[in-house]
Structures are given as C-alpha cells and as structure tokens.
C-alpha cells in the first residue's frame, strides 16, 4: 500500500473547505451517504431486487466496502481524503466483490449524472437517493467532488457536480405527472407486504397519506418522526382539490425545520425498569404522558369505519371461537 496513492481518493472543492481542511459535519454527512450508496450497490450487484429492503444485513458486503481513512491532505485549495479497504486480503482477481462495488458505484455515478434514463449496473432508486443525500453538500459550500479509484494501472475517475446532482434529483422524481410537494412530520409508517404507506402531518392542515415501494423502505424508516419534504405523484379529490394520497418519488429530511409540529412526537418519560417489574397504572400513564380524560366527547366520531361495521361482533366472534375449539377454558 502506498500511503500517498491509496485505493480511493476523494477531493472536495468549494468555499466550505480549505487547504487540507473540511468541516466535520460535511465529512460525516458525506461518508454516511457514500457508505449507504456503496452498500446498496453491493446489494443490487449480489442479486437483491431492491437495495434498501430491510432484513439481516449481509455482513460480507459491509466488510467488502469497509474503509479506513488514511490520509487528509491538500490540493490547493481543496481537501483530499485517502482511504484504504479494511480487508487486507482480497479474493481472486476478477472475483473481488468489494472492488466491483467501488467500480460500479463510481462508474454508475458518472452515468446517472447524464441525460440517459436507464440505470447502470449496481443501481436502483435506493442508490440514487443515497447519492442525492451526498449531493446536498452542494448547497453548503461544496462545488465539486472528485473520486479516483486506484484499483488498476489505469485509475477510474468520477466527478460529482451540482449539475449532476440536479439530474439525479430529476431521475428520482420521475416523469412530471401531477407532481406535488408535501412537507410535514412523518408518522405512522406501515411496512406490510401489501401496500407500504405512511402519513405526513403538515404544520397546518390535514395529514396526507403517502404510498411508497420497497426501494424507498429504508429511507422512510430512517425519517420516521422527523420533519420531511415529500415529492411525488398526487391523487386529489376532484371536488375539494385536497390531496388524498401521494406516491412518494423522493423523501428528504428537513433538519432546519425539526422544531415544527413537534407536538406530534411521542411525549412522556420512558420507564427504565426491568421487563418483569409491574409498574402501576399511574406510573404507566406518567411514562406515556396520559392524563385524565377531560372531554370524553372529543373521542366521538373518531372511528375510521362505519357505525355498523360489525367490529364488536367480529371481536366477540374472535374471542369465543377459541372457546368453541377448546383452545381456551
């Protein structure tokens, strides 16, 4: 290993960086996003249909793309970082998954910044969103990010630019069919196999039902309880014009608006006791910030179904069917 010529070099240009100097917040944000992009590329390459599907993480991919920061130097006036893989021994030439991931992730990054709509090998919507997250640095004083992968005699280079970032955002949004934007606190996600959905509660107005697909699952999960901007294809009530649902194309966390609609967040002080302890009802109420019901009528009319929907009968049937089958005494 040549310390001055590491496997991966990343150069940041822009007024936010100085010669050999980069804000820690920028670095953390970028590395987190790049790691996500690499990992998701690995999952696509190893046959995952959608890179962001939840499940036990494939340890080998994480190991394959794990990097050590070896070098922080300057190009004038840029900051240049150098990385080496943590894995000291690689697989047989041509069968090195880690190198393939780096190669496809970076060559793909060049492709997705161009006008072509097809996705390169190793890419899906989840990978695009990870690079999109990395690209938010372009609004924070970074003007260009250069990558050099020294994996072969002829290195692979890739440049990430603000124009390319815009193109990636356009790809994520997809065709412009009644595209609308909703901002609010993301709550109540449902990850059932049939129909993944969540709700966004704006600071003012009714919550909006949002639909998403498997490739967006991790992004939604990471943003639960946070204030977000959702862009997607909206369905509207023809009479009121109100958005009845929105199919998510893009979801982005709005860090600077975390204070809004904070009353929607779960309140109370969690109990720090053993599972087998039995807290009193009062202790539970305090932990969940539940107070005596001052206006019981506030509950009236909050049932989401019909008055005569058979719910009580169904519960009665559910409870007693076990008795008839002899399952319970």
Point out which residues bind other proteins (CB under 8 A): 195, 281-282, 284-286, 290-297, 299-305, 307, 309, 311-312, 314-316, 318
Residue pair 234/179 in contact by the 8 Å Cβ criterion: yes
Query: What does the block give as tokens for 41?
Result: 């590329």
Which residue reads 């990558």 in tokens? Answer: 147
Residue nearer to other proteins on the CB measure, 93 or 305 = 305
Residue nearer to other proteins on the CB measure, 204 or 296 = 296
Residue nearer to other proteins on the CB measure, 170 or 317 = 317
Show Cβ contacts of residue 73 under 8 Å, excluding neighbours closer than 6 positions: 20, 80, 82
Report in angstroms how near the CB of residue 279 gets to other proteins at its nearest: 12
Show Cβ contacts of residue 159 under 8 Å, excluding neighbours closer than 6 positions: 110, 144, 145, 146, 147
Residue pair 27/121 in contact by the 8 Å Cβ criterion: no
Residue nearer to other proteins on the CB measure, 2 or 302 = 302
Report in angstroms how near the CB of residue 132 gets to other proteins at its nearest: 32
Which 8-state DSSP code applies to residue 299?
A: G
Report in angstroms how near the CB of residue 327 gets to other proteins at its nearest: 15
Report in angstroms how near the CB of residue 318 gets to other proteins at its nearest: 7
Report in angstroms how near the CB of residue 329 gets to other proteins at its nearest: 16
Give the other-Cβ count within 10 Å of 320's Cβ: 11
Q: Name the nearest CA neighbour of 187 among 232, 215, 226, 242.
A: 226
Give the other-Cβ count within 10 Å of 22's Cβ: 20
Report in angstroms how near the CB of residue 304 gets to other proteins at its nearest: 7
- Give the β-pairing of 208-212 and 243-253: parallel
Angle at 325 between CA 322 and CA 329, to 5 degrees: 65
Residue nearer to other proteins on the CB measure, 63 or 283 = 283
Report in angstroms how near the CB of residue 54 gets to other proteins at its nearest: 20
Residue nearer to other proteins on the CB measure, 92 or 281 = 281
């Amino acid at each position: 290993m040549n310390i001055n010529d590491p496997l991966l070099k990343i150069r940041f240009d822009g007024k936010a960086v100085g010669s050999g100097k980069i804000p820690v917040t920028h670095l953390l944000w970028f590395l987190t996003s790049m790691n996500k992009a690499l990992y998701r590329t690995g999952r696509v390459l190893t046959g995952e249909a959608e890179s962001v599907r939840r499940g036990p993480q494939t340890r080998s991919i994480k190991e394959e793309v794990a990097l050590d920061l070896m070098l922080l130097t300057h190009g004038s006036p840029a900051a240049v970082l150098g990385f080496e893989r943590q894995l000291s021994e690689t697989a047989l030439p041509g069968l090195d998954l880690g190198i393939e991931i780096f190669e496809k992730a970076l060559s793909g990054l060049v492709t997705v910044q161009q006008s072509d709509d097809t996705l390169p090998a190793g890419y899906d919507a989840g990978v695009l969103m990870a690079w999109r997250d990395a690209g938010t640095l372009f609004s924070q004083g970074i003007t260009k990010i250069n990558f050099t992968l020294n994996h072969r005699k002829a290195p692979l280079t890739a440049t990430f630019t603000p124009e390319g970032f815009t193109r990636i955002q356009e790809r994520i949004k997809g065709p412009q069919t009644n595209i609308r934007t909703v901002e609010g606190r993301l709550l109540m996600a449902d990850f059932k196999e049939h129909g993944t959905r969540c709700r966004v509660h704006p600071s003012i107005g009714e919550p909006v039902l949002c639909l998403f697909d498997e490739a967006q699952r991790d992004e939604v999960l990471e943003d639960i309880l946070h204030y977000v901007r959702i862009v997607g294809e909206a369905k509207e009530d023809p009479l009121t014009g109100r958005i009845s649902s929105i199919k998510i194309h893009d979801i982005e966390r709005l860090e600077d608006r975390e204070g809004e609609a904070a009353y929607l967040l779960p309140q109370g002080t969690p109990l720090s006791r053993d599972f087998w302890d039995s807290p009193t009802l009062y202790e539970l109420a305090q932990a969940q910030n539940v107070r005596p019901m001052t206006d019981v009528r506030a509950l009236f009319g909050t049932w989401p179904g019909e008055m005569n929907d058979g719910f009580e009968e169904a519960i009665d049937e559910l409870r007693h069917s076990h008795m008839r089958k002899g399952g319970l005494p």
